[in-house]
Structure 1
Amino acid sequence: MKTIHDLIDILTLEDKGDNVFSGVSKTIGSPNVFGGQVLAQALHAAYKSISNDRIVHSLHSYFLEPGNLSKPISYQVREMRNGGSFSTRRVTAVQDNITIFIMAASFHKIENGHEHQVAIKRNIKQPEELLSWNDMLEKFHHLLPRQMKDFLSIERPVYFKPVEMVDPLNQKDLPATEDVWFKLKGNAGTLDLPLKQQILTYISDYNILNAALKPNASKANYGNTQMASLDHSMWFSRDFNFDDWMLFSAASPSTSGARGLATGNIFTRDGKLVASVAQEGLMRPKKL
């Protein structure tokens, strides 16, 4: 995938009838289906069962089995509740009659109410001062480990610019935070809010577990640690546009028992909080 339009094609599912939808997969450099893709496709399927203009405000999910990149994924939507203000959906993703993922999502009618939010970090470097993943590959390809080089070589529909670049040749423990600017490739044009939320859900599975790995970075890395998303939750706060860089600011309160927990907030560049994320992931040291 090279642009936002390629991503939208992947997120658009085939309607099989009776609230069942089918989707295909694209690799992001790992041998299994990317969790963000399953999340976003499941949200797309849930939205297909919403006919009263309600907007998703939260989702909670579990990754049960690794997905096979070469086989379609069937998304089965069950309408759990349609109340006066909220609608709840349950989505089950299936491959070869095996459930690989489950999600509950709640949709809310648009209402006005009280407002407050946490502030965006102001004392960090701006995107124009930073290198993207593409820039890193071009500038440091001769120094990068093969696994990292292969990962960065995959074409993606999103630019990522980490605020702090980890030096793979100087491994040391780092603070349990991860701040990454991101921007869509290509002209997003005018997108409706449900589609923007699906795209943001896709992006939210990138980078977040880095915050949980960093405090042990002197000995732990992606080469010697088995990592996988176990669960993923999101809360959507405000409408937004993809017309500028956005900041995903994550932190990890704890890593223990071969699991790491990370939480994060996603802001527009001018500081509007649009979504919050929480994820626990497997972080199992490999026996080399």
Structure 2
Amino acid sequence: MDPTLQYLLRLLDLEPVERDIFRGDSHASVVPRVFGGQVAAQALVAACRTVDDERLPHSLHSYFLRPGDPGARIVYTVDRIRDGRSFTTRRVVAVQHGQPIFTLSASFARAEEGLEHQEPMPAAPDPESLPPAEELLPRYADLFRDRGVLELLLQARQAIDLRYVNEPPFATAGKVREARSQVWFRVNGKLAGEQDTPVSHLCLGTYVSDMTLLDSVLLAHGRGGWMTGDTVGASLDHAMWFHRPFRADEWLLYDTDSPTSQSGRGLAHGRMFTRDGRLAVSVIQEGLMRVPR
């Protein structure tokens, strides 16, 4: 297993403090705050630690309240809202420096038989035909606002093999394109043993879900984002629905689009498909989208 993936898995392995209270580390982010995917994934881990293993999360709804401090540990408190016959509900609050920075509500259920349909997987090239981040990103070094941004971005992608289907927003700043983005991703290594659980794959998928989701908003306006310095952005809320089992160590297509942006906020919708075409996850996020003055 790649050492960076081992580090990411340790990051998601929260320390129990006492009943329904957990503590997690943070790592350096490409922006001066805790990466949203990290706090969302850790909060989901905390919720899962208080639920019967037979029940897995089928949805989560969350709000980013304050910028997290990457240099401080995060405390997660879990409220056991309900343990019903069919569904279990948990609420998690992430706290730093005595203040809540993030809240998450998650619902859990057992798998059962029922009506089933899904929209088809969109067309996309094979992931192996696309360049990995360490090969692609340096091509655009001159477009980043400084060299440090590129180095931090490369570090953030080490544990995740993420491959853009089309050119990313920072590569085409100034050119308005369709409000749609596609990336293939998987973690760098195979999960095994105690780390190879359905919860691990769900939480890793949650971690990655915040990485490129708002790209579709930027593309609609020809903006390069925080990497080029022409837009200030941040996640405001984040919702996910887990439809079918998936493995985060196998290729997933993350297809995203943006139906609207207004009032300094942009809305993005994402779908994760397994390589064989099964719709595994749906994601919706509203993000801050401001133009610096």
TM-score (normalizing by structure 1): 0.93
- SS in structure 1 at match of 2:182: strand
Identical aligned pairs, as a percentage?
39
The equivalent position to 1:164 in structure 2, one of 163, 166, 182, is 166
How far 1:79 moved relative to its partner? 0.4
Matches within 5 A, 1:182-221: 182-189=185-192, 191-217=196-222, 221=225
Corresponding residue SS for 2:150: helix
Query: Equivalent residue for 1:80?
Result: 81
- Shift of residue 142 of structure 1? 5.4
TM-score, normalization by structure 2? 0.92
Name which of structure 1's ranges 142-151 and 250-259 shifts more when overlaid on structure 2.
Answer: 142-151
Of Structure 1 and Structure 2, the greater helix share is in 2
Aligned length: 285
Instruction: Structure 1: state its 5+ residue gaps.
Output: none
Contact 1:36 1:204 (C-alpha < 8 Å) held by counterparts: yes
Q: In 1, are the aligned partners of 2:20 and 2:78 still within 8 Å (CA)? A: yes
2-side partners of 1:130 and 1:102: how far apart? 36
User: Partner residue of 2:129?
Assistant: 129
- Corresponding residue for 1:264? 270
Say what the alpha-carbon RMSD is for the aligned residues: 1.9
- Post-superposition CA distance 1:31-54 (Å, at most 9, x none): 100000000000000011102521
CA contact (8 A) 1:64 1:100 kept: yes
**Residue 43 of structure 1 aligns with which residue?**
44
Given that residues 134 and 152 in structure 1 are in contact (C-alpha distance below 8 angstroms), is that contact kept between their aligned partners in structure 2? no
Q: Secondary structure at the match of 1:3?
A: helix
Which stretch of structure 1 is more off in the superposition, 234-243 or 136-145? 136-145
Is 1:19–2:20 an aligned residue pair? yes
How far apart in 2 are the matches of 1:7 and 1:233?
22
The answer on 1:176 being equivalent to 2:182 is no
Per the TM alignment, residue 70 of structure 1 is displaced from its structure 2 partner at its CA by: 0.8
Q: Secondary structure at the match of 1:42?
A: helix
What is the deviation of 1:66? Answer: 0.3
Q: Distance between the aligned counterparts of 1:51 and 1:171, measured in 2?
A: 50
- Partner residue in 2 for 1:98: 99
Q: Give the CA deviation at 1:149.
A: 2.2
Structure 1 residue 119 displacement after superposition? 1.1
* Equivalent position of 1:113 in the other structure: 114
What is the distance in 1 between the residues matched to 2:268 and 2:98? Answer: 31
CA distance in 1, matches of 2:72, 2:190: 30
* Offset, 1:97: 1.0
Q: What does residue 255 of structure 1 align with? A: 261
